[in-house]
Amino acid sequence: MIALVTGANKGLGRETARQLAGLGMTVLVGSRDQDRGASVAAALGSGARPVRLDVTDSASLRAAADEVAWAYGRLDVLVNNAGISVMAPAGETDGATLRQVLDVNVIGVADTIRAFLPLLQRSAAPRIVNVSSTTASLTLTAAGTDFGGDAATRLAYSTSKAALNMLTVQYANAFRRDPGLSRIRINAATPGYVATDMNGHRGTRTVEEGARIIVQLATLPADGPTGGFFNDQGTVPW
């Protein structure tokens, strides 16, 4: 199987790539920085290959899709892991900040799916995993759930991940209606509060723990769920 993980040069993306490679997949290490991607792929072993890819650059996405098409002819798994967070108090979060975060975490995912959809259609069992966040849950947020970290500064990030969840549902519904796309299983995964560069490594979970649900959704059977929101304990409320 051929899997592409975006933002795989470090942290959760790198660990997801490592676990998928450990299952015998050929893993494409998506990274904006070609040298860093190549270094990670080399460290992961013969089952990994670097792919230069910037989810905010349509030319980069087209080139990456062309590269995968030429080398493999299809894509079985797409993990949309690349993401950013700009932390600021709600009253200080402006439109420019929101656009910056949405451009990567939502629009970048949509553009990546569009670029690789023809290759996913060539797979016998295509899977898409959108890496979301528990802080995207409207139900849990409205209930005052403590997710860890500074709740007062994640307006842009949590908003973008809530939008990503809706994107996931919309794709799932569209794929169900299209016989040519109905084999695709697409879901949103939340790894929990994982210690990564994004939170200054203050998270309480390891990348190994966080990657579990991503890998689980990337390897769903044909009758697996689609259009859902999951952590490694099960379904997360919207």
Burial class (CB within 10 angstroms; exposed 0-12, middle 13-18, buried 19+) of 110: middle
Given this structure, which CATH class describes domain 2-235? Answer: alpha beta
pLDDT exceeds 70 at position 8: yes
What pTM, to 2 d.p., does this model score? 0.96
Distance CA 187, CA 171 (A): 9
pLDDT value for 198: 72
Kindly state the average pLDDT of the residues 146-155: 91
Burial class (CB within 10 angstroms; exposed 0-12, middle 13-18, buried 19+) of 121: middle
**Residues 63-107 pLDDT 10s:** 999 999 999 999 999 999 999 999 999 999 999 999 999 999 999
**Residues 35-51 pLDDT 10s:** 999 999 999 999 999 99
**Residues 170-206 pLDDT 10s:** 999 999 999 999 999 999 999 987 767 776 777 668 8
Name the catalytic one among 10, 157, 171, 193. 157
Going by pLDDT thresholds of 50, 70 and 90, the confidence category of residue 28 is: very high
Do residues 195 and 140 lie in contact, with contact meaning Cβ atoms separated by under 8 Å? Answer: no
pLDDT value for 201: 74
pLDDT value for 195: 60
Kindly state the average pLDDT of the residues 147-171: 95
> Domain spans of the chain?
2-235
Burial class (CB within 10 angstroms; exposed 0-12, middle 13-18, buried 19+) of 53: buried
Q: Look up 10 and say whether it is catalytic.
A: no
Q: Look up 157 and say whether it is catalytic.
A: yes
Name the catalytic one among 10, 72, 161, 171. 161
Q: State the sign of the Cα–Cα–Cα–Cα dihedral 210, 214, 219, 224.
A: positive
